[in-house]
């Protein structure tokens, strides 16, 4: 896909996030929106997947370690054709398959996750399993910057570096905010780059909303041998919705009807501008 | 009298993994820097490429096991019960139990027979913790024969399984030609009519010894070995309780949440009778030799006998 096509799709993914969270009257829009461009690139460009055959043996895997941003993943999967976009409105409702946090039984979801720190370990296991069985697939894992306060993230990084798992690509969604405020004020795990380097990762830093940089980073990750890669993706929490941007109050809160209308109008405007290009 | 053969079930675990490694090429083993103690080192020596040491990071090990299982491998994640079921409880629940992945947890050094290391390493809560996870099979074999059979059964079953092994050498009690292991099925070891003794793990041997002592007093005890705590063979317990009217449970585990609780759950619903739960009575263990501890906490034959006599008064 061209960058313009990716931008348009990411805008649709953002609309789906808002619609899902608004309908659920709960959920996590901020971190879903900050990672929307990454999700879009992974599922529309980077990964070897088949929405018609979600469990195909040789597919690349994705683990959403920051599982609370499930609306971002679900909206991407729906837009990619794993299930109807309309189903996003059932998010978090009793009887819906779209659980509050990712569940392995949802089409396209490779691992149940959401208890922070755990997804990355599973991703490391998937990468190890692929390696020892001589399978060529890659494993991608999205980790939150706040999530990196969990010790298990670094246990997983230690193992991945030790085992030289070059089929593993971790993406750190670095939006700088967590529930209680700015990382710098809560309990920052910075410096991230130095830490991952110390655990023998190849480190790439990018703007999480620039598809040229995203594209180049994933290419570089694919070409990196004998060590895992982390892409530290500097992002804006709430990206795309004016009143949500850089506001930790929108970490885990749904917009009311009025706010939803404003948010969707923001995104419609972006969409129209992209169509003019 | 021939000498009783004693083998620690952790030895059985390591030997079984090695033996079954040839038959099941997708069997892999993980450990957290305790391969020499859990005896997974036996497997490591035979299949170095299928052994992954995760270092001293049990929570990560459980997640890695989960990830490996999604790729079609059958991982056995091994550590002491304290760390496998205790420290990594939430990882086992959320990364293995919830997605119902085909991970086997081999937990050694369970209970007070850890001995000298003392209370920090004596896990008397693992059966309780693991029982609470939906879909988790929980096994606690009584000797070498049963431990090896349990490992095979775990491999042949698709889904998460927790198996508890011990550090101390224990008598081989199931070495008979007609021995058959069926996951989820209790074993009637001795028929009796006056009281039912339901035991698990190393306490099965104590229960058999106690039954012998009771016989001398004219008390005819029935002895049931429950090697699978979950799913529990409720039928064999209810049937026996219906006959004897009194039940004693014996386990090297807290009386809260383990075999005793599971048996009470079943009997409350289906055939309420008085139950005496023998085990760790809501206390931590302490340092000492395994045999001294078992004696102090009344989990040897003599202690079980004395407590049953008291119960039947």
**B contact residues 47-86, partner A, Cβ 8 Å cutoff:** 49-50, 52, 54-55, 57, 59-73, 75
Distance from CA of A93 to the nearest CA of B (A): 19
* Neighbour count for residue B157 (Cβ, 10 Å): 14
| Secondary structure of A196-244 in HEC code, one letter for each residue | HHHCCCEEEEEECCCHHHHHHHHHHHHHCCCCCEEEEEECCCCCCCCCC
Tell me whether residues A158 and B59 touch, CB distance under 8 A: no
Tell me whether residues B70 and A158 touch, CB distance under 8 A: no
pLDDT tens digits, residue range B253-292?
Answer: 999 999 999 999 999 999 999 999 999 999 999 999 999 9
Average pLDDT over residues B225-247: 98
Q: Which residues of B touch A158 (CB under 8 A)?
A: 55, 57, 60
pLDDT tops 80 at residue A100: yes
Tell me whether residues A159 and B28 touch, CB distance under 8 A: no
Q: Which residues of A touch B28 (CB under 8 A)?
A: 132
Per-residue confidence at A208, pLDDT binned at 50, 70, 90? very high
pLDDT tens digits, residue range A144-175?
Answer: 999 999 999 999 999 999 999 999 999 999 99
Tokens 């208890």, residue? A115
Per-residue confidence at B236, pLDDT binned at 50, 70, 90? very high
pLDDT tops 80 at residue B3: no
Q: Is the dihedral of CA B213, B216, B217, B218 positive or negative?
A: positive
Catalytic residue among B11, B58, B146, B251: B58
Measure Cα distances from B178 to A252, B174, B175, B181, B189 in Å: 60, 9, 9, 10, 12
Question: Looking at the complex, does the CB of residue B95 fall below 8 Å from at least one CB of chain A?
Answer: yes
Tell me whether residues B60 and A115 touch, CB distance under 8 A: no
Q: Which residue in the set A103, A130, A159 is minimally distant from B71, CB to CB?
A: A130
Q: What angle do CA A134, A140, A142 make, to 5 degrees?
A: 155
Tell me whether residues B70 and A111 touch, CB distance under 8 A: yes
State which residue of chain A sits closest to B57, comparing Cα positions.
Answer: A155
Q: How far is the C-alpha of A39 from the C-alpha of A60, rounded, in Å?
A: 14
pLDDT tens digits, residue range B86-118?
Answer: 999 999 999 999 999 999 999 999 999 999 999
The per-residue pLDDT of chain A, averaged, comes to 97
Per-residue confidence at B1, pLDDT binned at 50, 70, 90? very low
Tokens 């795309």, residue? A240
Q: Which residue in the set A114, A135, A152 is minimally distant from B60, CB to CB?
A: A152
Q: Which residues of A touch B54 (CB under 8 A)?
A: 159
B58 annotated active-site: yes
Question: Looking at the complex, does the CB of residue B135 fall below 8 Å from at least one CB of chain A?
Answer: no
State which residue of chain A sits closest to B30, comparing Cα positions.
Answer: A125
């Amino acid at each position: 896909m061209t960058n313009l096509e990716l931008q348009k799709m990411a805008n649709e993914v953002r609309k789906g996030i808002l619609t899902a969270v608004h309908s659920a009257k709960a959920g996590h829009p901020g971190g879903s929106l900050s990672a929307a461009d990454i999700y879009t690139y992974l599922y529309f460009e980077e990964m070897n997947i088949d929405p018609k055959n979600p469990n195909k043996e040789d597919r690349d895997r994705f683990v959403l370690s920051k599982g609370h941003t499930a609306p971002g993943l679900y909206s991407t999967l729906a837009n990619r054709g794993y299930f109807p976009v309309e189903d996003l409105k059932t998010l978090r409702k009793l009887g819906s398959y779209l659980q509050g946090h990712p569940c392995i039984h949802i089409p396209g979801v490779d691992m149940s996750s959401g208890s922070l720190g755990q997804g990355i370990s599973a991703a490391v296991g998937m990468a190890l399993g692929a390696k020892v069985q001589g399978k060529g697939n890659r494993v991608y894992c999205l980790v939150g910057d706040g999530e990196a306060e969990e010790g298990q993230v670094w246990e997983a990084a230690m193992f991945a570096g030790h085992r030289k798992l070059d089929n593993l690509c971790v993406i750190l969604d670095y939006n700088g905010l967590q529930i209680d405020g700015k990382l710098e004020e809560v309990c920052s795990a910075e410096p991230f780059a130095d830490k991952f380097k110390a655990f023998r990762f190849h480190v790439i830093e990018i703007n999480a909303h620039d598809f040229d940089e995203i594209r180049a980073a994933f290419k570089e990750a694919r070409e990196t041998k004998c060590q895992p890669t982390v892409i530290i993706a500097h992002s804006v929490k709430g990206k795309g919705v004016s009143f949500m941007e850089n506001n930790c109050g929108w970490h885990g809160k749904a917009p009311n009807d009025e706010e939803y209308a404003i948010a969707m109008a923001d995104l419609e405007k972006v969409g129209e501008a992209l169509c003019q290009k | 009298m021939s000498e009783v053969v004693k083998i620690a079930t952790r030895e059985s675990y390591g030997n079984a993994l090695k033996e079954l490694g040839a038959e099941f090429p997708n069997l892999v083993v993980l450990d957290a820097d305790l391969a020499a103690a859990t005896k997974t080192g036996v497997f490591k020596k035979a299949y170095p490429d299928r052994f992954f040491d995760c270092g001293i990071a049990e929570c990560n090990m459980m997640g890695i096991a989960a990830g490996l299982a999604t790729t079609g491998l059958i991982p056995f994640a091994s550590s002491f019960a304290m760390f496998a079921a205790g420290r990594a409880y939430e990882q086992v629940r959320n990364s293995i139990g919830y997605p119902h992945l085909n991970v086997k947890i081999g937990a050694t050094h369970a209970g007070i027979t850890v001995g000298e290391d003392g209370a920090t390493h004596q896990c008397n809560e693992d059966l309780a913790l693991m029982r609470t996870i939906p879909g988790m099979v929980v096994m606690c074999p009584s000797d070498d024969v049963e431990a090896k059979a349990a490992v095979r059964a775990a491999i042949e079953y698709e889904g998460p399984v927790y198996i508890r092994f011990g550090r101390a050498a224990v008598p081989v009690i199931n070495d008979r030609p007609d021995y058959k292991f069926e996951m989820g099925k209790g074993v009637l070891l001795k028929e009796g009519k006056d009281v039912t003794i339901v035991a698990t793990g190393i306490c099965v041997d104590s229960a058999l010894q106690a039954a012998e002592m009771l016989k001398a007093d004219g008390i005819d005890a029935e002895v049931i070995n429950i090697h699978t705590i979950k799913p529990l063979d409720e039928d064999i317990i209810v049937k026996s309780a219906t006959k004897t009217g009194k039940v004693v449970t014996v386990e090297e585990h807290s009386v809260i949440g383990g075999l005793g609780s599971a048996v009470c759950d079943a009997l409350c619903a289906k055939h309420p009778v008085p139950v005496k739960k023998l085990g760790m009575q809501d206390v931590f263990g302490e340092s000492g030799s395994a045999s001294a501890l078992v004696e102090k906490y009344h989990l040897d034959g003599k202690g079980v006998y004395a407590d049953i006599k008291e119960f039947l008064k």
